[in-house]
Structure 1
Amino acid sequence: MQIDLIKGHGSGNDFLLIDEKANPYTFSENDRAVLARLLCNRHSDLGADGILFIMNSNHADGKMRVFNADGSEASMCGNGLRLVARYICEKLQRQEGVIETMKANLRVSKQADLYPNVPTYQVEISPVSFKLTDLPLKLNQPTLVNEKIPELSSELSFSALAVPNPHLIAIVDTDQLQSELQRQISERVNEPNELFPDGVNVSFVKSINPGNIYVNTFERGVGFTNACGTAMSASSLITCLQNLNEIDQPINVYNNGGKVQCVVHRSEGDYSIDLIGNATYLYQATVEVDLEKNSFAVTNKGDFSEQMAYQKLQTEVQSFLQKG
């Protein structure tokens, strides 16, 4: 089976894009999971955090399905959605569109460059739910906002929400951020456990100053990642609820892969978040895949030149974080 793909990243969170709209691929559900495990393997010639399958939609400009590197399917991916937004908008030669995801149809649009020569897209992150049943998180209470979970930590307070991916967020100081606490908690809640039967994304958030935060995320199905779009969005919302930032005001969110901007909105008691960041292409490739033998070979590969501009952004981000 021959497959054409593009590798790209949002904030260093990298994906393989496979277009099922323009190609006659006939993947089964099992095929998608196998492809994700095979092509995303970091020890292979490709490697990525996941695969973004771009499909036809009956009521939107396109549909995105996200498969993590372990073969599991995610309900949403903010960094990946920016890549899909770019791909579809460029194909349609439009500045904006609507992308169908597992839980909602989301608005996307091209924006002014976040940094010179860095293609930038804005995507809608919603729906937002604080109901523990939507994660799910098995506690004898309906919600959890800035409260302790004694089974996980005696020192940290947590907030839990689905956007719609499940997230567990703690506001931390520098010592807690640099400790092994996040790894220990993340591994516990993503192995068989009584609290999170389906696992959860775990983020440690450090407030730098008003309008600027740093987010480090252990992503369910991936592990520690350069950035997670829904985690940065959810973290921005939590900082607004704790009066560290303001609703309807841009928040610079720094991460190990670079930075994005988030704007939290509230309307009639419901929240949504705009996630604004890069959609950088790394290369396009053709691969020959044998699913029965669980093997593949790259038969053609061509690099894009966009990463150099993004690396300049990363350098500025690291300089800012070191000063902070």
Structure 2
Amino acid sequence: MEIEIIKCHGSGNDFLLIDEMTNDYSFTEEERANLAKALCNRTTDLGADGILFVMKSEIADGRMRVFNADGSEASMCGNGLRCVARYVCELLNKSTALIQTMKADLLVSKEEEIFPEIPTYKVEISPVSFQTSDLPLNVDAETLVDKKIPALTDELKFTAVAVPNPHLISIVEKEQIHSEIQKDISEFVNGPNELFPDGVNVSFVNTIQKGRIYVRTFERGVGFTNACGTAMSASTLVTCLQGINDLEQPVEVFNNGGKVRCVAHKNQETYKIDLIGNATYMYKTSVEVDLVNPAGFTCGNKEEFTQENQQYGKLQEEVKQYLTLSL
């Protein structure tokens, strides 16, 4: 079977995009998981954090399903959603669209460039829940906001939030960013444990200055990644609730893959976050794959998006220099 693929990324969080809207592809659930494990393997000609399946929807302009590199399905992916937003908007020749995801139908739109000549899209991150049962997190409390979890560490405080995928967020100092504590905690809560039976994304957040934060994320099903869109969005909201930043005001969020802009909103007792950033195409290619044994796939020629990649490289270099001075 031949499958056309676009390799793309949001903030360096890279994906393989497969279009089921205009191609006559059909995959079982097992085949989707196995494709993700095979094609996303970093030792192959492709490699990625996950696969974005772009599908037809009866209730929206398109539908997104996300499979992580380990074959698990993610309920939401903010960086991936920006890439899907671009693909669907360009396919349908629209500047705004509605994308169906596992838990919600989300608005997306083309935005003013976050950096010269970089396609930029805004996506809605919602619903937001602080109920521990929605992660799930097994503690004797309905919410966990800026509290210690003794079973993990006595050193840090955490906030647990689902957006809708689960996040555990800690505001930390520079020395904690550079320590091994995040790795140790992340591996524990994503292995067999009683606190997070389904695992959890773990983010450490350092405040650079008001309106600017750095976020490093260990992503469930992936490991440490250049960036996680929902983590950056959730981290922005947490800093607003703790008085570090302000609701309704843009926050520049720096990460190892680049930067995004987030705005946290409150409407009565509900929250949502705007995630604004790049949707960069790296190359187009096709793979010949046997769905019974996808690990034996072969990759065709790659058509590079040279100008896009060069411009994002400039953004990354600017961010790298800034973080070297700030962290």
Q: What corresponds to 1:301 in structure 2?
A: 302
Hey, what does 1:319 align to over in structure 2?
A: 321
2:39 is the alignment partner of 1:26: no
Contact 1:7 1:284 in 2 (8 A): yes
CA-atom RMSD in angstroms: 0.6
* Structure 2 residue runs without a partner (length 5+): none
The answer to whether 1:237 aligns with 2:234 is: no
1:323, CA displacement in angstroms? 2.1
1:207 is aligned to 207
SS in 1 for 2:260: strand
SS at match of 1:300: coil
- Structure 2 counterparts to residues 1-324 of structure 1, below 5 A: 1-294=1-294, 295-305=296-306, 306-324=308-326
The answer to whether the 8 A contact 1:287-1:300 is kept is no
TM-score normalized by the length of structure 1 = 0.99
Distance in 2 between the 1:116 and 1:284 partners? 22
Q: Which amino acid aligns with 1:199?
A: G
Cα distance in 2 for partners of 1:268, 1:210 equals 25
Give me the whole-angstrom Cα distance separating, in 1, the residues matched to 2:26 and 2:180.
44
* CA distance in 2: counterparts of 1:299 and 1:259, whole angstroms: 32
The CA deviation string for residues 187-241 of structure 1, in whole angstroms up to 9 with x for no partner, is: 0000000000000000000000000000000000000000000000000000001
Structure 1 stretches of 5 or more lacking a match? Answer: none
- What is the DSSP-based 3-state SS (H/G/I as helix, E as strand, rest coil) of the residue aligned with 2:322? helix
Which amino acid in structure 2 is aligned with residue 77 of structure 1? C
Amino acid at match of 1:314: Q
User: Cα offset for 1:292?
Assistant: 2.1
* 1:320 positional shift: 1.4
Moved over 6 A (4+): none
Counterparts of 2:171 and 2:46, CA distance in 1? 35
Deviation of the 1:131 alpha carbon: 0.3
Partner SS for 2:302: strand
CA distance, structure 1, for counterparts of residue 222 and residue 228 of structure 2: 10
One-letter amino acid of the counterpart of residue 76, structure 1: M
> What's the CA shift for 1:300?
2.9
> Take 2:187 and 2:305, find their aligned partners in 1: how far apart are those partners?
36
Partners of 2:293 and 2:218 in 1: CA distance = 31
Cα deviation code 1:56-105 (max 9, x no counterpart) = 10110000000000000000000000000000000011111000000000
> How big is the shift at 1:279?
0.2
Q: Give, in angstroms, the shift of residue 299 of structure 1.
A: 2.2
Distance in 2 of aligned mates of 1:235 and 1:51? 24
After TM superposition, give the deviation of residue 290 of structure 1 in Å: 1.2
What TM-score do the two structures reach when normalised by structure 2? Answer: 0.98
Deviation at 1:283, TM superposition (A): 0.3
Residue-by-residue CA offset, 1:88-146 (whole Å, 9 max, x unaligned): 00001111100000000000000011000110000000000000000000001000000
The alpha-carbon deviation at position 293 of structure 1 amounts to 2.8
Give 1:272 shift: 0.2
Deviations 1:9-42 (A, max 9, x none): 0000000000011011110111100000000000
How many pairs were matched up?
324
Question: 1:318, CA displacement in angstroms?
Answer: 1.3
Deviation at 1:268, TM superposition (A): 1.0
C-alpha distance in 2, partners of 1:50/1:180?
25
Q: What SS does the aligned partner of 2:188 have?
A: helix
Percentage of matched positions with identical amino acids: 64
What amino acid maps onto 2:322 in structure 1? Answer: F
Whichever residue aligns with residue 46 of structure 2, its letter is: L
CA distance in 2, matches of 1:273, 1:132: 19
